[in-house]
Amino acid sequence: MSTSSNTKLKALGLHLSIIAVLAVSFLVLPEYHSGIIARVLILAIYAMGYNLLFGYTGLLSLGHALFFASGMYGLGLAMQYLNAPPLVGLIAGLGFAAFVSAVIGFLALRTTGVAFMIVTLMFAQAGYLTILLMGEYTRGDEGFVIKQSQRMIAGFDLSHATNRYFVSVFLFGFCLLIIGWIVQSGFGKTLVAIRENEERARMLGYNVQLHKWIAVVISGTMSGAAGAAYALLFGYVGGTFATVQYSIFPLLYVLLGGAGTTIGPLIGALFMFYLIDISSEFTSAYLLVAGVALILLTLFAPQGIAGMLRKRVIRWLP
């Protein structure tokens, strides 16, 4: 067996083990923590989408809240005003997020570097303002609740804690396996080559612009899937999710967990969520605590937690 095939099998085994541990954990976790894990897994999907663009392609975006909100509102508006069933709502959310990311990617990729970061931020702000201006339908920052009676799939009540947890695990596991496959495919290797040396990748004959655009679309669609899943599982759609802070969150998760690693987003989301949750019990300056933790990790583990593990222990970590 070749080294490449052996590495892929190890990565697949790692990903399946993580999914299995998450599923079994429900049996031992207190209800409070299982509720947190369900929320964290959806946010980890969001961070995985972001990581594909930032960690593997090298494009720093500050506008991913627009994609998250696109999936959320695509599902929420379809269910609220068109009485769409949940699965149709999910498709609507995915479709809308894919459309928005395709358009934004086409426009934003006309720029590079810092300009790309600023342009994505501007588009995200425009999206947030659009939500506010269309408050008659979106209810702006106040948002709206998706009724419990609407959150049913094949007789399963997604508002029930047990069902919500296992659906979160299923969605996370599905996205983790997809990301694992993408980053080890030829396409994923090309994205890494673009990140490392864009000009050399172009000289080798790769269509750099097309690869970057496809990466934006996949990243935005996965982030939109997280937004749609969040709205469906937790029953709330609000303009807050389109604000700048929700573009910063996935960046923090990826930096803490390890950019360019498949498990980094999960580690980062877990670490940051619990750090804020625990520190908020002792002080109102919990964001300061999170900031200090980020600075310390940046100084002593610049590659993130998973990146440090890959450097020192598990060198085959994808």
pLDDT of residue 3: 65
The full DSSP string for 259-308 is TT-SSHHHHHHHHHHHHHHHHTTT-S-HHHHHHHHHHHHHHH-TTHHHHH
CA quadruple 69, 75, 81, 82: dihedral sign: positive
| In-domain check, residue 258 | no
Rounded distance, CA 244 to CA 308, Å?
29
Number of domains forming the structure of the chain? 1
| Number of alpha carbons in the 13 Å side-chain half-sphere of residue 171 | 31
| In-domain check, residue 272 | no
pLDDT of residue 277: 85
| In-domain check, residue 288 | no
| In-domain check, residue 185 | yes
| In-domain check, residue 200 | yes
| In-domain check, residue 192 | yes
| In-domain check, residue 302 | no
| In-domain check, residue 99 | yes
Q: Cβ distance 105 to 131 under 8 Å?
A: no
Domain hosting 196: range is: 3-243
pLDDT of residue 225: 97
Per-residue pLDDT of the chain (318 residues; tens, 9 = 90+): 566 678 788 889 999 999 999 999 999 988 888 999 999 999 999 999 999 999 999 999 999 999 999 999 999 999 999 989 999 999 999 999 999 999 999 999 999 889 999 999 999 999 999 999 998 899 988 889 998 888 988 788 888 999 999 999 999 999 999 999 999 999 999 999 999 999 999 999 999 999 999 999 999 999 999 999 999 999 999 999 999 989 999 999 999 999 999 999 999 999 998 888 888 888 888 778 888 888 888 788 888 888 888 888 877 778
Which residues contact residue 59 at a Cβ distance below 8 angstroms, ignoring those fewer than 6 apart?
53, 116, 212, 215, 216
Angle at 58 between CA 252 and CA 63, to 5 degrees: 55
What residue type is assigned to position 170 of the chain? F
pLDDT of residue 20: 96
pLDDT of residue 2: 61
pLDDT of residue 180: 94
